[in-house]
């Protein structure tokens, strides 16, 4: 029973996270400071929010690489409009605007994928360029630095949760955005586990034709999926703009792979039908640690991409490796190690 | 007297000039197990689809429960209690068995939220109806085929099925699993549920059916109680020809065998967990059969001989010389060919043309100048081999997926024969092949042996082994336990030996 618990994919990722943290911490105890933890939390929040959308798409058997394009479009356009109109209000309106734009762009994806049944990778590769290009062309390519940002957003960026004074005198804190991630994660978990919509996402990812025969509304479900991804990508983009206190139209796009890697590391299968919120969040933590903390180990930043690449290979190869290992063990041992749960038996 | 559930009246179905069904009429009573047999192209699938409402008939009508329909829709057929279990089962491999059973049911009732306790309860109650033991929490993709089939049946029952149509349900099952399935089917009959099943395996049809119906070329050619038919009669009705299979006589002197070493000899071959201490030999011109129940290791042995999953200890000798088969390349280099169990996934490139599939092993013989492929040489080779194996096709450029099972198997054979093997290992060579083609394939195999090739056939089709082999090896739990000369044993005795003393 314990063995089964430890062989779960999520458990393995958790162990890797713990192991890596301990390793880094031993080499450089600065890793275990509150300041570092808060910084990791900030970075992880953004990746985490995007990863919830990626997770749902992966489970449904598709892949969406356009979410960064949606994010930047929504954020930059919103900031441009608000800044040009000297907006003085709070964060609510920006979030709503970005979410609405994100939703709209997500529906564009949904149109091509659900109605025209085009392959998801091709469609989203196309819309990634499309959205970003349209933004640069129609909205502009001016860079908004901190002074030019709507004051409401700057105030939001300064919001603090659990402020903490560091040994060197500065203060650091968690940012309330982490709540958005938590609420989102819980929501996605509930939908996936306890609603027919969630199960139909798994069904479609498992066997699309069987899902059709069983009477699932594939088109409707896919529209909801991609619209939802668009919505949260819009919100995610807005968070990036707010937290970084700048609106750079050339940012965000290019970070897709880290988010997808996080989901895959967490157990989502590129073939569809598998994935979990916990696993994805753990994957996000792992990627964030790698991206932000290798420096503490003295690893040059050029090597970060290398390590992330290795992790992706490891993460996708892990289930296969485990199966091969189990079979090898059985062959050498000659005895009945795993009972009928393993699909490979004598024939 | 049993009540009538389904009546099919003078159904004809035309597809652009092709008569798939021609005036077919029959009745299925409540609680009846009816078998439908017929070769490929006889109209079996079309008939099922008409009953299921997928195809509207060109003429004729279908009466279900007293209600007559000239044109049925799938949803109506389902509502009337007709459930079809297709060969691929239509299950979700990434979900649990319980979910597969209950999900559809919930969906139909418009449920938006999942109550997992209810899902488990529904699944448990449903599976209790057929009284089998399947782990409901297992992921369906991890379950063996037989269990998946049971899940598919259970799901069908939840729809309040009154007639369950099964399309080739026993293709992927072993003997034991087939018996289990039949027990379930008989249990359903007790409850008044009718079963219509389509099968190639005539001996099974005989043992389970109450009544049998034979289709040939879209027409019904025979219909009666199972007791009125025997295998020979069934084969005759299906093909319109007399099918008489005789055994195989091995003549050692014909191949100058008396002085020569055997083509293949293995000594104490072992792969822990799969098979152990396997020793036997195959001489030129012999056809040796290997049979055994699930877990006996016969497929593992075949894979080891071909280098897919090599043995860990033991010796292998080809033509008297000691060889090491550690990979498929090794096996091929020593003249060993392998016709796999599952031709669709392991034997053919389905999307490629017939011609290409045939020459794929001998590509290097089709090279012209400068080492590039010569299409002239390729066409020559393709023509030679399609003729030698009588592969029936309109055009060798068609995708191999367009061929019938029997013809596909010929393509797999052609591919291997083109490379002139000395030893041919065949795993389930006529699985899913209809009776007429089966006989032809058997004759082909005997011809090959007559040319001096040593053949090893792994199969659980006892009539097939009795008809083609001169020797049969019986495996149990990874060991060869007995060897028979086919002239010294009958099929019944072999069957007994197969199933005895296993518990």
3-state SS of B224-259?
EEHHHCCHHHHHHHHHCCCCCCCCCCCCHHHHCCCC
Q: Mean pLDDT over all residues of chain A?
A: 83
pLDDT at B258: 63
Name the closest residue on chain A to residue B75, using Cα atoms: A215
CATH at B249: 3.40.50.300
| Same domain as B169, residue B184 | yes
What's the pLDDT tens digit per position in B477-490?
A: 888 888 888 888 88
- The pLDDT value given to residue B243: 65
What sign does the dihedral B127-B128-B131-B135 (CA atoms) show? positive
Give me the number of domains chain B comprises.
3
B259 & B389 share domain = no
Higher-scoring residue by pLDDT: B64, A246: B64
Q: Which residues of A touch B272 (CB under 8 A)?
A: 331-334
- pLDDT tens digits for B183-192? 888 988 888 8
Phi, psi at A30, each rounded to 5°:
-60, -20
Phi then psi dihedrals of residue B43, to 5 deg: 110, 5
**What pLDDT was estimated at residue A126?**
94
Give yes or no: residues B200 and B271 share one domain: no
Chain A residues near residue B144 by CB distance under 8 angstroms: 343
Q: Do A330 and B294 lie within an 8 Å CB cutoff?
A: no
pLDDT in tens, B321-370: 999 999 999 998 899 999 887 777 778 888 888 888 888 888 877 787 78
According to the model, what pLDDT value does residue A347 have? 57
Alpha helices in chain A (DSSP H): 2-7, 9-27, 34-59, 67-84, 92-110, 120-134, 151-157, 177-194, 196-206, 208-214, 218-244, 256-265, 277-293, 302-333
Q: Report the relative pairing of strands B219-225 and B211-216 from DSSP bridges.
A: antiparallel
Q: What is the pLDDT of residue B254?
A: 62
More confident residue, A30 or B272: B272
Q: Of the residues B218, B239, B260, which one is the last residue of a structural domain?
A: B239
Q: What is the distance in angstroms between the Cα of B93 and the nearest Cα belonging to chain A? A: 6
- Partner residue facing A196 (CB), from B94, B106, B274: B106
Is residue A3 pLDDT above 60, yes or no?
A: no
> What is the rounded distance in angstroms from the CA atom of residue B384 to the CA atom of residue B378?
10
Domains within chain A, CATH numbers bracketed: 2-333 (1.10.3470)
Interface residue of B86, B103, B340 to substitute, partner A, most A CBs within 10 Å: B103
Q: What's the pLDDT at B257?
A: 58
Residue B90 shares a structural domain with residue B137: yes
CA B384 – CA B376 distance, rounded (Å) = 12
For chain A, what percent of residues have pLDDT higher than 90?
Answer: 35
What's the pLDDT at B1? 47
The arithmetic mean of pLDDT across residues B464-480, rounded, is 89
Q: Taking residues A209-232, what's their average pLDDT?
A: 89
What pLDDT score was predicted for residue B392? Answer: 78
| Rounded average pLDDT over A60-72 | 93
Residues B324 and B264 in one domain: yes
Question: Would B345 be classed as within a structural domain?
Answer: no
Q: Which residues of B have a CB under 8 Å from any CB of A?
A: 90-95, 99, 103-104, 106-108, 111-114, 138, 142, 144, 271-275, 294-300, 312, 478
pLDDT of residue A277: 93
Asked if the Cβ–Cβ distance from A202 to B297 is below 8 Å, we say no
Q: What are phi and psi of A73, to 5 degrees?
A: -60, -50
Residues B285 and B178 in one domain: no
What pLDDT, on the 0 to 100 scale, is given for residue A7? Answer: 58
Q: Are B264 and B315 in contact (CB under 8 A)?
A: no
Which is it for strands B67-69 and B18-29: parallel, antiparallel or unpaired? unpaired
Instruction: Specify the pLDDT at position B491.
Output: 79
Which of B99, B108, B271 is the closest to A215 by Cβ? B108
Higher pLDDT, B7 or A123: A123
Q: Which of B418, B449, B473 marks a domain boundary? A: B418
Size of interface A-B (CB pairs under 8 A): 86
Of the residues B418, B449, B470, which one is the last residue of a structural domain? Answer: B418
- What confidence tens digit (pLDDT) does each residue in B60-86 have? 888 888 888 888 887 788 888 888 888
Residues B272, A194: C-beta atoms closer than 8 Å: no
pLDDT in tens, A144-180: 777 777 777 777 777 777 777 777 667 777 778 888 9
| Lowest-pLDDT choice from A137-141, B42-46, B406-410, B497-501 | B497-501
CB contact, 8 Å: A327 with chain B? no
Strands B219-225 and B471-476: unpaired
Q: Which of A333, A344, A346 is the mutation pick for testing B, counting most B CBs within 10 A?
A: A346
B contacts of A198 (beta carbons < 8 Å)? 114
Query: B83, B88, B92: which to substitute to probe chain A, counting the most A Cβ within 10 Å?
Result: B92
**pLDDT greater than 50 at residue A279:** yes
Of A196, A210, A347, the CB nearest to B300: A347
Residues B223 and B113 in one domain: yes
Question: Lowest-confidence range among B109-113, B152-156, B244-248?
Answer: B244-248
Residue B468 lies in a domain: yes
**Which residues of chain B make contact with A200, given a CB cutoff of 8 A?**
107
User: Same structural domain for residues B210 and B354?
Assistant: no
Domain membership flag for residue B43: yes
Residue B365: domain span: 350-418
The answer to whether position B466 is within a domain reads yes
Closest listed residue to residue A311, CA positions, set A16, A7, A14? A16
Same domain, B234 and B255: no
- Residue B150 is encoded by which pair of tokens? 């049971």
Average pLDDT rounded to a whole number, residues A129-139: 88
Q: Is the pLDDT of residue A83 over 50?
A: yes
Cβ contact A199–B271 (<8 Å): no
Answer whether residue B29 is part of any domain.
yes
pLDDT of res. B256: 57
Q: Is residue A330 predicted with pLDDT exceeding 70?
A: no
Q: pLDDT tens digits for B317-326?
A: 998 899 999 9
Same domain, B128 and B254: no
Name the residue in chain A with its Cα closest to that of B477: A346
User: Which residues in chain A touch residue B93, judged by CB atoms under 8 angstroms apart?
Assistant: 206-207, 273
Give the one of A196, A341, A346 whose C-beta lies nearest to B112's C-beta.
Answer: A196
CB A267 within 8 A of CB A274: yes
Inform me whether the C-beta atom of residue A270 falls under 8 Å from chain B C-beta atoms.
no
Mean pLDDT, rounded, for B456-461: 88
Q: Are residues B433 and B413 in the same domain?
A: no
How confident is the model over B448-473, as a mean pLDDT? Answer: 88
Kindly state whether residues B35 and B162 are assigned to the same domain: yes
B240-299: pLDDT as tens digits? 776 667 777 777 666 655 667 888 899 999 998 889 999 999 988 889 999 987 678 888
* Predicted local distance difference test score (pLDDT) of residue A334: 43
Is B343 inside any structural domain? Answer: no
- Nearest CB to B272: which of A215, A334, A345? A334
């Amino acid at each position: 029973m314990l063995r089964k618990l430890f062989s779960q994919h999520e458990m393995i990722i958790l162990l890797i996270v713990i192991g890596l943290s301990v390793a880094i911490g031993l080499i450089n105890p600065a890793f275990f400071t509150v300041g570092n933890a808060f910084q990791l939390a900030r970075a992880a929040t953004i990746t985490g929010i995007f990863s919830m959308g990626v997770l749902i798409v992966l489970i449904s058997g598709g892949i969406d690489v356009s979410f960064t394009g949606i994010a930047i479009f929504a954020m930059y356009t919103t900031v441009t409009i608000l800044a040009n109109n000297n907006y003085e209000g709070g964060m609510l309106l920006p979030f709503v605007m970005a979410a609405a734009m994100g939703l709209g762009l997500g529906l564009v994806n949904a149109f091509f994928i659900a109605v025209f049944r085009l392959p998801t990778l091709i469609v989203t590769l196309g819309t990634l360029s499309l959205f970003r290009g349209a933004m640069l062309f129609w909205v502009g390519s001016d860079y908004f630095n901190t002074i030019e940002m709507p004051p409401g957003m700057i105030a939001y960026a300064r919001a603090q949760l659990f402020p903490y004074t560091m040994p060197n005198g500065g203060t650091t804190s968690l940012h309330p955005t982490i709540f958005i991630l938590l609420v989102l994660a819980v929501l996605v978990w509930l939908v996936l586990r306890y609603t027919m919509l969630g199960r139909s996402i798994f069904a479609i990812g498992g066997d699309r034709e069987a899902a059709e025969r069983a009477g699932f509304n594939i088109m409707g479900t896919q529209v909801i999926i991609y619209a939802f991804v668009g919505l949260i990508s819009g919100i995610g983009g807005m968070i990036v703009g707010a937290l970084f206190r700048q609106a750079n139209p050339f940012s965000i796009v290019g970070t897709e792979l880290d988010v997808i890697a996080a989901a895959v590391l967490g157990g989502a299968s590129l073939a569809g039908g598998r994935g979990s919120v916990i696993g994805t969040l753990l994957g996000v933590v792992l990627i964030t640690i790698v991206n932000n903390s290798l420096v503490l180990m003295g690893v040059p930043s050029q090597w970060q991409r290398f390590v992330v690449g290795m992790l992706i290979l490891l993460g996708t190869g892990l289930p296969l490796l485990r199966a091969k290992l189990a079979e090898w063990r059985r062959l050498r041992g000659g005895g009945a190690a795993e009972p009928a749960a393993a699909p490979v038996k004598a024939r | 007297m049993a009540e009538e559930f389904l009546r099919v009246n003078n159904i004809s179905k035309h597809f652009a000039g092709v008569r798939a069904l021609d005036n077919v009429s029959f009745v299925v009573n409540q609680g009846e197990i009816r078998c439908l047999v017929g070769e490929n192209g006889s109209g079996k699938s079309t008939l099922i689809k008409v009953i299921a409402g997928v195809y509207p008939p060109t003429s004729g009508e279908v009466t279900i429960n007293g209600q007559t329909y000239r044109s049925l829709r799938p949803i109506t057929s389902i509502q009337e209690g007709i459930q079809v279990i297709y060969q691929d089962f239509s299950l979700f491999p990434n979900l649990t068995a319980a979910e597969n059973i209950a999900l559809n049911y919930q969906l139909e009732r418009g449920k938006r939220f999942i109550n997992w306790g209810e899902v488990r309860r529904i699944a448990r109650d449903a599976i209790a109806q057929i009284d089998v033991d399947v782990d409901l929490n297992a992921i369906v993709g991890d379950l063996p085929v037989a269990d998946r089939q049971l899940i598919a049946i259970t799901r069908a029952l939840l729809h309040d099925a009154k007639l369950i149509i099964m399309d080739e349900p026993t293709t992927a099952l072993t003997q034991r699993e087939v018996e289990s399935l039949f027990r379930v089917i008989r249990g359903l009959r007790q409850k008044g549920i009718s079963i219509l099943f389509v099968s190639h395996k005539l001996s099974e049809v005989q043992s389970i059916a109450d009544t049998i119906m034979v289709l040939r070329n879209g027409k019904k050619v025979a219909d009666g109680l199972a007791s009125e038919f025997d295998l020979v009669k069934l084969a005759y009705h299906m093909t319109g020809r007399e099918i008489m299979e005789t055994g195989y006589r091995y003549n050692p002197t014909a191949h100058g065998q008396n002085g020569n070493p055997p083509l293949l000899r293995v000594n104490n071959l072992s792969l822990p967990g799969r098979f152990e201490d396997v020793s036997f030999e195959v001489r030129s011109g012999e056809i040796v059969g290997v049979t055994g129940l699930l877990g006996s290791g016969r497929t593992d042995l075949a894979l080891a001989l071909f280098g897919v999953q090599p043995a860990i200890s033991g010796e292998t000798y080809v033509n008297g010389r000691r060889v090491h088969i550690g990979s498929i390349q090794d096996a091929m280099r020593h003249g060993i060919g392998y016709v796999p169990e599952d031709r669709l996934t392991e034997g053919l490139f389905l999307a490629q043309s017939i011609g290409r599939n045939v020459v794929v092993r001998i590509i290097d013989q089709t090279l012209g100048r400068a080492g590039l492929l010569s299409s002239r040489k390729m066409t020559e080779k393709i023509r030679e081999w399609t003729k030698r194996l009588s592969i029936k096709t309109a055009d060798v450029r068609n995708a191999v997926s367009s061929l019938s099972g029997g013809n596909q198997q010929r393509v797999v054979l052609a591919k291997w024969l083109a490379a002139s093997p000395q030893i041919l290992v065949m795993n389930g060579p006529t699985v899913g092949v209809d009776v007429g083609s089966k006989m032809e394939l058997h004759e082909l195999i005997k011809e090959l042996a007559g040319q001096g090739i040593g053949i090893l056939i792994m199969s659980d089709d006892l009539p097939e082994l009795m008809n083609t082999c001169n020797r049969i090896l019986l495996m149990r739990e990874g060991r060869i336990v007995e060897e028979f000369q086919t002239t010294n044993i009958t099929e019944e005795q072999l069957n007994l030996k197969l199933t005895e003393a296993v518990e």
